[in-house]
Amino acid sequence: MTQTARLYGGSLYDLAAEEQLTDTVMEQMTQIRGIFKDTPDYLRLLGEPSIPKEERTKLIEDAFGNQAERYLVNFIKLLCERNLLGDYAGCCEEFTRRYNADHNIAEAVVTSAVTLSDSQMEALTARLEKLSGKKVSLIQKKDASVVAGLRVEIEGKQLDGTVQSRLSGISRKLNEIIV
């Protein structure tokens, strides 16, 4: 994350907190980030220097003006005017980081070979909340190389219960014995 993204995302968070709009802005930022991710051509169009800034900001107003919080729409327009839309994802990360800190939320990433069921996700979330003492926002990733089991990253710690990790541990121990 760039220093610019940290500064802009933090400033938007401060404004949203002052206006008691952090929940609304958080939800809408995430939705708009998804739109930008799903339609990279739209994002490129908004950053196209050959199109006057007024036209690009009008595109933002047309797309989000009636659907998103005014502060957020103006924030995106500001990024567009300053040719900083490439930092939007970083701004979202900083906003989320500040939001999570203020709301005692820990973000966790669980990696498994297969998609976990809703009940498994709920059970894992409950267990992690008990361990961390915080509300947990759980993000799921799939990686066939883990073979089986789960790898969880939360607050800079890694809990690795994968078969891949166990096999690596056995391999290291065997190499130590042989050498």
Distance of alpha carbon 108 from alpha carbon 116, whole angstroms = 14
pLDDT digits (tens, 9 = 90+) for 129-168: 988 889 998 899 988 877 777 888 888 888 777 666 666 6
Give every CB contact of residue 42 below 8 A, 6+ residues apart in sequence: 35, 36
CATH of the domain at 7: 1.10.520.20
Domain that holds residue 64: 3-100
pLDDT of residue 8: 95
* Burial of 43 from C-beta contacts in 10 A (0-12 / 13-18 / 19+): middle
Judgement on whether residues 110 and 161 belong to the same structural domain of the protein: yes
Judgement on whether residues 56 and 112 belong to the same structural domain of the protein: no
CATH of the domain at 139: 3.40.30
Judgement on whether residues 15 and 95 belong to the same structural domain of the protein: yes
Task: Quote the pTM value.
Answer: 0.74
Judgement on whether residues 30 and 84 belong to the same structural domain of the protein: yes
Judgement on whether residues 9 and 89 belong to the same structural domain of the protein: yes
3-state secondary structure of 166: helix
Judgement on whether residues 88 and 152 belong to the same structural domain of the protein: no
Distance of alpha carbon 8 from alpha carbon 101, whole angstroms = 17
pLDDT digits (tens, 9 = 90+) for 88-104: 999 999 999 999 999 99
Judgement on whether residues 9 and 90 belong to the same structural domain of the protein: yes
Judgement on whether residues 20 and 43 belong to the same structural domain of the protein: yes
pLDDT at 39 over 70: yes
pLDDT of residue 162: 67
Helices (H), the chain: 3-18, 22-38, 40-46, 53-64, 70-81, 88-102, 118-132, 163-178
Number of domains in the chain: 2
